[in-house]
Amino acid sequence: MVRDLDFRVKRTPVKPLAQPATVRVALPTNKKGGPSATLWTVLVLLLVAATIGIWQFSTISTTPTTSVKTPTPTKEASPLADPVPTKAENSILSPQSSSPLVQIYDSGAGSTEVGALVDKLKALGYKVDNLDKSQFNYDRTYIRYRAGMQAEAEKIQSAMPDRLISLKEVQSAGLFDILILLGNN
């Protein structure tokens, strides 16, 4: 027979090990004027300063600009010489001199073609403003003109006999008298 020694051993109760004393850690409390409140105050002040700066920059950068050049008054053209101005003279969009303002976009023709047309129109006595590259390319040339400028637009059309041109009067508040979209053909 097998002897079981384990049952004969007298068991003595074991005392639990001494537990270390509980250490209490004091968590920082956010009282008025603590570091967290200071951080929030600084962030709010920076946000307010940035908002004011953006507002001031936007009001400075939106000053109205115009491309219409007003001639300097001369002794011959005094207000007393023409006491009743016509409706066209009162319009801000009317040309300030006898030659109309022609604006040209390169709409696929190329810069050399546009340069040649600018030179040709300046030789004919037009005020020409080259607006460089258009965002679109067209297969023909479009001439848009304001009311009363049809005869001038037809003169410009006759100056370009080799181009396929579409003429159209537009109701526009733009600062041009005649707009040319110089296309491929």
Coil/strand/helix, residue 113: helix
Residue 160 belongs to some domain of the structure: yes
- The predicted pLDDT at position 56 comes to 85
Overall number of domains in the chain: 1
Q: Is 141 inside a domain boundary?
A: yes
Cα 66 off chain centre by: 16
Write out the residue range of the structural domain in which residue 156 sits: 99-182
- Residue 129 resides in a domain: yes
Cα distance between residue 113 and residue 107, in whole Å: 11
Question: Which amino acid makes up residue 91?
Answer: S
136 domain residue, yes or no: yes
Cα 33 off chain centre by: 44
pTM score: 0.48
Q: Count CA atoms closer than 13 A to 165's CA, side-chain side.
A: 20
At residue 89, the pLDDT reads 42
Strands 141-145 and 178-182: antiparallel
**pLDDT at residue 95, rounded to an integer:** 41
pLDDT average per 10 residues of sequence, the chain (185 residues): 58 72 65 76 93 84 53 51 45 54 92 92 91 89 91 91 90 82 88
Has residue 91 been placed in a domain?
no
Q: What is the pLDDT of residue 72?
A: 55
pLDDT for res 81: 47
Domain membership flag for residue 83: no
CATH number, domain with residue 127: 3.30.70.2390
Residue 92 is predicted with a pLDDT of 40
Q: What is the pLDDT of residue 93?
A: 41
Nearest to 104 by CA among 82, 126, 85, 125: 126
Which pLDDT belongs to residue 27? 65
